[in-house]
Structure 1
Amino acid sequence: MTLQTDKKGKEKDWSTESSEAVQSRLKQLGPSFTFEELWELHKRSVGKSRPSGKGSMTLRKKGMILGYAVIVCAILLTGIGLYSPSIGAALQKVFFIDLFYKNVRGGIDSGLYQIEKQNLGTTTDVSVTDQDIRLTVAEVFYDGIQFVVNYQVDYPKKQKIKEEDAAVYYNYKFKDAHPTMIGTHAFTITGDHTFIGTTVFNTEPLPENARLHIEIRRIGTTDGNWDVTVPISLSKAKPLTKIVRPQTAGTYEHKKFIVNQITFTPVGTQLVIETDEELSFLLEDDLETRFDNAGGMGGKGEVRRNFGLPSEVNPKPPYVILVVGDATNEPLNTLRQREEYADYTGPGSLPVTLKGARGGTVTITDVQFLEDSTVVYYEASDAANQKPFLILEDSSGERFTSQKNDVRTSRDSFAYKVEYPKLPSSRFKFELVVNEYSQEPKEPVKIKIPIDWE
């Protein structure tokens, strides 16, 4: 793993620097590595979603599966940073969630942005210093589905920390509760003496006013005690949460299930299903917009599937559609992948239409080159092609996948925008990867579930 540091290698006095300047500096100090997951669980789902993120799998294999979640048992955190009173205030206002998404680079729904947009997090003053190393928990969030912890680690007395100094080993525990938790994390280098981190866990329901105990007995090569305990509360999220209890029974290929609950929180959606069967579950709104998958967990006859928020163009759909299929019915030996290509040489080369799945099409309508990203606009002919696996390839052969999930921009058509990293050139090639089957998977069962938002 390679960490990016200040190229000039010079120390500066940051104590009087403004928050804006600190933010600008942080923007330049983004790490040159992506988050490495300890291990991944992959399940096959009915329908295909655009793969993303980086791992040990080949690109084509990524196109065949959907990554569900990462169970974190013991986590190694890395980072090198600077120490300044002004930096903490700036980070609490802006940076944790934004930098989290930049590090995980796609494949995770963007609902966590709402924590900062709606001020849903609870600021804490919990800080522990041992062995001249300070750990500060800046903010916590809980919505009944997941919890988020943002924190910062400072080495104020060390001249400059080395990579081996920038590691934290920790465990999460709850007092009087032992929920199953599935999560991921990302950390961002912010200078010579400090790094920040965000950890996100999907979790089973917690007791009211639960207290989270974070056990930390080693940072880098230093043993010590940085244990902290912080409150977890629903007070901010609960007024903005909608719970529907359909109690709807259904079957798929003689496999039974009951839809017990759908929860819409300010940052995500959760589906609770009663079943012992190997089934896959997806959600769509009344406009056939597919909810972004956000992992899940299950056991003892209950399945919890997490999804992103409803789309921005349809935030309160009158009903959702549960899409149920057999998680084991995809005949992989009948799958092949077809690639479609088109060159982009400038605005005059658009629109361009690529042949999609099942006789459909994907038409690329616009490309915008922003300061730190490239945004592609496209329109799909139908729901089956609304979230294509679209790769950008520059003249050197380097390939870029999207760093955020596709966002629907119209209620009247399957028009979307999707963000990619900044490209080294304004000339590149579109590559559309399409899954095709010699034997099509069985059609899923679709169940309409009304939602009363009043």
Structure 2
Amino acid sequence: MSLEQQIKAAKCCHENHPVDVEDFKKRVFQKLEKHKEWKARPSRVAFLKLASNTESSKRKQTFKKLSVMTTATAASLGVVIGAGMTSPGFAEALKQIPVVQSVFHMVGDDGLKLAHEKGIVSTIQKTATDSDITVTITEVFYDGAQISVGFMVESPDKLSDMHRLTKSIKINGTTPESWGTGGTIHPIDDYKAVGVINFSTSEPLPEKFQFDLSIQKIGDTRGDWSFSFPIVKNDATNQLFTPMVTKTYGDTTLILEKITFTVHSTELVGQIIQSGASHSAMFEVFEVTDDKGKELGLLSSSLGENKVDGEKVTARWKAIYQPVKELPKSITIRPATLEKVDLPAEIIKGLEIIVPIQKNR
């Protein structure tokens, strides 16, 4: 039974029973405060697989996605729903107690919570049920860098290994050539969970598009949970900088073309140019720090198709990092590796780029 069905059932069962609303509210919020004191569960860090089109043997693409599982809890919703199944007159009391309907607000990162507070997310509320498991897409947000989808999973039986979701996407009916996912999921109890999936593509997406999401497997359970809904880019609060900085060391040239600060992410776009003899870079990603030395966490990184021009090989790259709370005075970019292997100091220094960020542009 879905969340909305459970609430309706509770209303029907108890709507004619008297209830002390103030007493019920007091007891519910006491439970909420008690839940806040619980220790957060240990975080989980997972590398999620790349989904890419490999039809062209001449194309060299990599797309790697790092997903950090946050440790926030969804206790408030669990308390309200649990109380509703046992308290007389819950239907009337529920009208006076706000039920959290935004997954972004519950378990999203700081950027998604801010987007929710600003009212710039799109409500979806679409549901699909298969194999006795119900999936509800609650909301979506697209800032031009990545697509974030809030969802809820419910089942009459205990859900096992909910962190493993097998899924596919289409943009305007076509599967992107290279895309990756990350995100977070939190159990409310053994039968319900909420989470966020972040989708990134190596190629730019249009301002508006139809988004198709198909989930084929949840844990060990196969099924068909398919959704289709429109998405519109919301970049009203984005701040764009185009430094066009070039740095060369040895046979490698690094170009930083664009930096975009959004409420949900920090996006960097540029190119890597190497001599024909150096077909692969010694570094895979970039470390980004602000003027205070704070490192921005990497969310995703992609290296596009190689273009060969004589002895020169050029590849476009895009990297998405965690958002900044306020614009830094500058950011510093250095070559790095996902495995945190130390690169030679001369390479790091030779390709290091420091970009001043001027707020009044």
Q: What TM-score range do you get, normalising by the shorter chain?
A: 0.5 to 0.7
Contact 1:213–1:227 (Cα < 8 Å) also in 2: yes
**In 2, Cα distance between equivalents of 1:133 and 1:305:** 35
CA distance in 2: counterparts of 1:452 and 1:333, whole angstroms: 33
Secondary structure at 1:206 match in 2: coil
Amino acid at match of 2:147: F
Q: Which amino acid aligns with 2:158?
A: K
- Equivalent residues in 2 for 1:319-398, closer than 5 Å: 319-325=329-335
For the structure 1 residues 274 and 195, does the alpha-carbon distance in structure 2 shift closer, same or farther, using more than 3 Å as the test? same
- The CA distance in 1 between the partners of 2:137 and 2:337, in whole Å, is 40
CA distance in 2, matches of 1:331, 1:162: 41
Does 112-121 or 137-146 show the bigger shift? 112-121
Deviation at 1:263, TM superposition (A): 0.9
What residue is the counterpart of 1:216 in the other structure? 215
* Pairwise CA distance, 1:175: 2.4
Partners of 2:302 and 2:317 within 8 A in 1: yes
Please give the secondary structure, in 2, of the residue aligned with 1:113: helix
1:281 matched to which residue of 2? 286
Change (3 A) 1:256 1:197: same
Partner of 2:185: 187
Q: Which residue of 2 aligns with 1:448?
A: 355
Alignment of 1:57-96 (within 5 A): 69-70=65-66, 90-93=99-102, 96=104
Aligned to 1:197: 195
Q: Check 1:139–1:281 CA distance in 2 against 1; reply closer, same or farther (3 A cut).
A: same
1:304 aligns with 2:318: yes
SS in 2 for 1:191: coil
> Following the alignment from structure 2 to structure 1, what is the Cα–Cα distance between the partners of residues 341 and 186?
41
Counterpart of 2:158? 162
Would the aligned equivalents of 1:141 and 1:148 in 2 still touch at CA under 8 Å? yes
Distance, in Å, in 1 between the alignment partners of 2:45 and 2:293 is 33
Cα drift, residue 302 of structure 1: 0.9
What letter matches 2:107 in structure 1? L
CA pair 186-325 structure 1, distance change in 2 beyond 3 A: closer
Q: Structure 1 CA distance, aligned partners of 2:131 and 2:169?
A: 22
How far off its partner does 1:270 sit?
Answer: 0.8
Q: Which stretch shows the higher mean deviation, 252-261 or 139-148?
A: 252-261
Report percent identity of matched pairs.
21
CA distance in 1, matches of 2:129, 2:113: 30
Aligned residues: 283
- Are residues 24 and 222 of structure 1, via their aligned partners in 2, closer, same or farther at CA, if it must alter by over 3 Å? farther
Preserved contact between residue 251 and residue 257 of structure 1 (Cα < 8 Å): yes
Q: Structure 1 14/195 Cα, relative in aligned 2: closer, same or farther at 3 Å?
A: farther
Contact 1:316–1:453 (CA<8 Å) still a contact in 2? Answer: no
1:316 paired with 2:324, answer no
Q: CA RMSD in A?
A: 4.2
Aligned-pair distance for 1:131? Answer: 5.1
Deviation readout 1:292-327 (Å, 9 max, x if unpaired): 4333211221111222333x4xx234x524434476
- Give 1:141's aligned residue: 141
Aligned to 1:294: 299
Partner of 1:241: 238
Q: Distance in 1 between matches of 2:31 and 2:145?
A: 33
Partner SS state of residue 117, structure 1:
helix
Aligned to 1:347: none
Report the alpha carbon displacement of residue 187 of structure 1 after superposing the two structures with TM.
1.8
Are the structure 2 counterparts of residues 219 and 448 from structure 1 closer, same or farther at C-alpha, using a change threshold of 3 Å? closer
Aligned pairs (5 A) from 1:92-103: 92-93=101-102, 96=104, 98-99=106-107
Q: Which residue number corresponds to residue 127 of structure 2?
A: 127
Q: Cα offset for 1:33?
A: 6.2
CA contact (8 A) 1:39 1:70 kept: yes
Q: CA deviation at 1:149?
A: 0.9
Aligned counterpart for 2:258 among listed residues 257, 261, 265: 261
Q: Check the 8 A contact 2:241/2:260 in 1, yes or no.
A: yes
Bigger helix fraction? 2
Report SS of the residue matched to 1:69: strand
Residues 239-276 of structure 1: CA distance to partner in whole angstroms, max 9, x if unpaired? Answer: 10122222222213342122211111122211111114
**Deviations 1:61-114, CA, capped at 9 Å, x for gaps:** xxxxxxx7348xxxxxxxxx8787969973324x5455356xxxxxxxx43432
Seen in structure 2, the aligned counterparts of structure 1 residues 119 and 24 have a Cα distance that, compared at 3 Å, is farther
Q: CA deviation at 1:226?
A: 2.3
Contact conserved, 1:92 with 1:139, CA < 8 A, in 2? Answer: no
- Contact kept, 8 Å, 1:147 with 1:203, in 2: the verdict is no
Give 1:142 shift.
0.8
Give the superposition deviation at 1:138.
0.7
SS at match of 1:239: coil
Shift, 1:449, TM fit = 4.1
Return the alpha-carbon distance in structure 2 between the equivalents of residues 39 and 333 of structure 1.
25
- 1:26, 1:331 → 2: CA distance? 40
Q: Report SS of the residue matched to 1:227.
A: strand
**Which secondary structure state, in structure 2, belongs to the residue aligned with residue 275 of structure 1?**
strand
Per-residue deviation, residues 391-447 of structure 1 (Å, max 9, x unmatched)? xxxxxxxxxxxxxxxxxxxxxxxxxxxxxxxxxxxxxxxxxxxxxxxx897535333
**How far apart are the structure 2 equivalents of 1:221 and 1:294?**
27
The equivalent residue for 1:175 is 172
SS of match in other structure, 1:240: coil
Query: What TM-score results when the alignment is normalised by the length of structure 1?
Result: 0.51
**What are the ranges of 5 or more consecutive residues in structure 2 without an aligned counterpart?**
1-8, 15-23, 51-63, 68-77, 85-90, 275-280, 306-314
Q: Structure 1 residue 37: deviation in Å?
A: 2.4
